Each structure stands twice: as structure tokens, then as C-alpha cells.
Structure 1
């Protein structure tokens, strides 16, 4: 059994990750690659608040116990969503139709209703999951800003420049803004401060219409980031042959980009076929279309009584 209690140093090492934009200089390749800063943000939060390590260790212990008990969600979880739009240009002030298209994608992806769900290879058909979580758009808040692009310092969530989250203990807050720097989005994991809780996405990767641009034009950036918000790790564990704490996902040696041809073999022990079509990899939107049953159990565990997001109810 994997050990889930980590020292602060080990925890920081496990969850530190590089911005993809810094891995490959812009002039080196014209190919757009997914950039998720969730673990980079987590690293900064733990440096600022060492007690976060202890809180997340407790969440890991509770999650493992809940998964083993088999007593998870007894009914479908419905997540109210508030979308906070920060815009400097007319294009960044995304339409209600674009926002709703993102909610629609989340409802499809988390309920196995996405049209590409049946594209899951036979080797993984036994573990592909209907997570059974739905999302309802509660309201949209907008604010005009002079900020050209936003960093991962949570400034978009503060009253000085951005929009503060709405009742984050019972509402999923999402921010749409111009991220810049090759970052498509980032999420706060369970255990962080409620004042910064939620998911941030670039306006050009929000939904399926309006300002979205390929290859991130199918709304899967939000699916990936909401997965983090529900306590899912990157499928390669943010380390060479690392662990995502899920038993039914193959060990990946690193992240995958674009749309890898199947089967794509890992270089880790046993050379397993990688689940590159999993939402928690780094592939293009059209290359990701499944969660696993293990990931479903991990997400469900945060909503039960005593879970990190139990206030959302079951």
C-alpha cells in the first residue's frame, strides 16, 4: 500500500511542476501544448502556509479510508457554479452562450455522456467511469479591468483587481480571464483557503464556442481543472513514474501531449499501455475523454460526511 503521509519537503517535491511554457521556448515549436499550473500554485501555497501539508495529509488519509469502505456518494452531487469574468477587451468578456457551453461540457464529461466516451479502447473499457456529478450555472459576475494578463498568484480572486469567490464552501467558483504565459488554467486542491478556492481558466479555452481556439476548444481544460478541484492528481503523478493515488490508472513515465497514437507504452516498470485519453493527462482536448472508476471513487470521497467538500452535500 502506498504511504500517504509525507514530510513537507517530500510533499513539495511531489507536487512541484513546471509551467509548460518554460519547458519549451516559444521559438522552439509552433505546436500549442497544454499548460496547467495547479501543482505550481499548490507548491506556492504550501510554502506560504506550511500547515496546508498537514491538512492535505489528513484529506489523503480520509480519502483512502472512504475509498476502502465502499460508502461513498449515496446520491448524485449537484454543484452550483458561479462564473467570474474578468475582461480588458470585448473578446475577453465572453458571452453567456460560451459560458453555458462550458457547463454543458462538464455535465457530459462527468456523466459519461460525451460523444467520444465510446472511443475508449477495449483495454480500458472495464474501468471507464460515469462519475455522476452534475453542474448548474448559478450566476455570472463580470468586471472590466486594465490587467493585460493574469498570473497564478490568485490576484483575480481578490477585491483589489478581481472578483472574490461567492460562498466557496457551497459553490464552485470559476474565473475566466486572459492567463497568458502558456497557462490554460489552474485549480485549488481541497484543503486550501476558502478565499482562493475555485478554478481559473483562460478565456480562449473556456467552453466550445466564441473565443475558444484549437486544440483547446472542446471545454476539456475545465474538465481537467475541476478534476484537480475534486482532488485528482495528474495521471503521471508529477514525477517520473509517479503515483496519482489511483489503482486502476496505468503508471505513466511523464505527461503526454497532442493526440498520441494508441497504444502508447510507458517506459516505467512493466511498460504498461498508458491511458493517454484520461482527462488528467496533458493531451489536446480531442485526445482526452474518460475518467476511471478509481478516479471516480477518489472524487466521491471528498463529498461524503467528513470529506473535504462535504458542505456540497450528497
Structure 2
């Protein structure tokens, strides 16, 4: 605990020294949050697959392995028995000083991630009885911010996989993505995206990590659509192997056996039960799943198998086995 407190003290000092243009979130109007949630992880992946035959081959192989992994997870063969602490580097790349997020915002995001993965988030009790049998317990993954960097740049719109995350000349390059979860916090994303992430099979590449629009990062305005820090939870889910619950296609699959099939993305704050139909079967949708598109206050659960899948990715057999606290 003493070491942790010392780290927070040092980070606070560094924050004030590195840049004095940090702006309190109260200066941002609630209206600036009111964009429909759009995660561009799948679109960014498609761009990378088109430009790299090698990566496409890796992706195809990874898809073939998913079904076997899911079967082994259900049988308990691949369950991780130790808690893995992932070290996090936060890279703040901004043009508008209002998006130079404070150390308090950074640490609030760390807290949200840890509470979520421990299943101790404040609204965990809202899970409907229908889905309680499959809710995740303590997912044995935690996160600790070990450093952050700041860089003011001319660009106001962040385009996926461009130079802002490739070189120090234009932005902030990733810090050893084999060892650290890099999170870039940026002004705005193209196509009005709220965030995106790389996937486990891409581990160690120069773009490996999570990118989040500044107004969606950390705990900000609890009355805002995305003010509870859950955009990062959603994107870290992708980073650790999860897909959107509807499989990014009408009535698709996320290759997780305890999430119900869903026709399309669900937005906003839907009432429960919310029904969706696939193949002539009407089901209650798991709207409150973190891998859906609902507002922050309406998402509050992972399933057991989603948790198992993420634990697998940081286990000795997973793509992200090197992600251990140094």
C-alpha cells in the first residue's frame, strides 16, 4: 500500500510538471458526450487485414482455434488460477487542452476497470434473475497504471493506425506492447467513434492497445451517456479477446456460449426485458452486457465464459501471456 501511495504521489507531481494545461471535466458541457456509441475495433481490424496478408493468415488461424478454446474453457481445462496484474501506460495525445485529462481521471479509469473485473461495480446487483446463473464472478485480472505520457499535437482527428501512435515525431509511440497495455486518450476519432482496440492475436505490434476518445475516458459526468468509464471496459474486452455480443453481423456469434444470440447492436437505455429475434426464435437480449452498445449506466455485466476467455488470453497459453506486472 505504501508503494502504491508513493506511485500516486509521484504521478501527481509528474502530471503537474509535464503540462499545466489540464482542464477540469466540469468545463465540458454534457452535450459533448451525446454521440451514439460506436466502437470501430472491427472496422480498424478489417483495414489491417486488407493491407497485410500475413496478418490475415494469423486471423484465420485464430478463428479456427476459438471453438476449441471455448470447449476447453467450458470443461475447466484452461481456467487461470492466479490473478494477473496488467501494467498500463496511458498516452494522452491532444490538440485541445480540454482533452489533456488529469491524473484523477486516469486513476478513476483504473478503478472502474478493477471494480468491473472483480464484479464489485456499484450496479452489479441490477443483473436480472434470468442472467444471474451466467454472470461472471471475480475475473482474475487487475490493472495498475504505472506511467503516463502527454503530447500536444496539431491533429484534431485521430485516424486508426496512423502516425499519432506509431512514432514520437507525430504523437506517442507504444511502450513495449508485449509487456504493457497501452491506452491512448485522444481528442476525437474519425467516424465519430468512441474508441477501438487491437485484438490478442496482434500482440506486440506497434499499434497494439486501446484508443479512447477523451470525453469517454474515466469517470466524468455521471449524467452523460458515457461518463462512467465503461468505454474502456468495452475496449479492454476486445483487447482481451471478446467480440461484440451480436458478432458484428445480423444474428452472428461472439463465440461465447453463455451470451444469448442477438440480432443487432442495441443502443441507449432499453427497458428489461428487451426482445430480439434470430432464426424465428424470440429471445431476451442481454442488453446490459459490456460488449453491447448501450449507454454506460445500462451496461454492468460480463458472463462467466467471457471472463474465462479473458483469463485465458493472459494465461501461459494465451496470446497475452507476456502481459504481467514487471
On whether the aligned pair clears a TM of 0.5, the verdict is: yes
**Which among 221, 237, 241 is matched to residue 231 of structure 1?**
241
Mapped to 1, the partners of 2:224 and 2:171 lie a distance apart of: 27
Are the counterparts in 2 of residues 63 and 301 from structure 1 also a CA contact under 8 Å? no
Mapped to 2, the partners of 1:36 and 1:115 lie a distance apart of: 24
Deviation at 1:53? 2.6
Deviation at 1:313? 4.7
**Which among 99, 111, 114 is matched to residue 107 of structure 1?**
114
Mapped to 2, the partners of 1:174 and 1:213 lie a distance apart of: 24
The 5-angstrom pairing of residues 112-191 of structure 1 reads 112-130=119-137, 131-159=139-167, 160-180=169-189, 181-191=191-201
Q: TM-score, normalised by structure 1?
A: 0.86
Are the counterparts in 1 of residues 96 and 156 from structure 2 also a CA contact under 8 Å? no
Structure 2 unaligned runs (5+)?
1-32
Mapped to 1, the partners of 2:180 and 2:126 lie a distance apart of: 32
The answer to whether structure 1 residue 201 and structure 2 residue 208 are counterparts is no
Greater helix share, structure number: 2
Q: TM-score, normalised by structure 2?
A: 0.83
The answer to whether structure 1 residue 298 and structure 2 residue 309 are counterparts is yes
Q: Check 1:133–1:221 CA distance in 2 against 1; reply closer, same or farther (3 A cut).
A: same
Deviation at 1:220? 0.5
Mapped to 1, the partners of 2:271 and 2:36 lie a distance apart of: 16
Mapped to 2, the partners of 1:53 and 1:306 lie a distance apart of: 21
Report the counterpart of residue 61 of structure 2 in structure 1: 58
Aligned-partner SS, 2:49 = helix
Deviation at 1:42? 0.3
Structure 1 unaligned runs (5+)?
1-29
Deviation at 1:62? 4.3
The answer to whether structure 1 residue 310 and structure 2 residue 318 are counterparts is no
Report the counterpart of residue 103 of structure 2 in structure 1: 96
Greater strand share, structure number: 2
Deviation at 1:261? 0.7
**RMSD across aligned C-alpha pairs, in angstroms?**
1.9
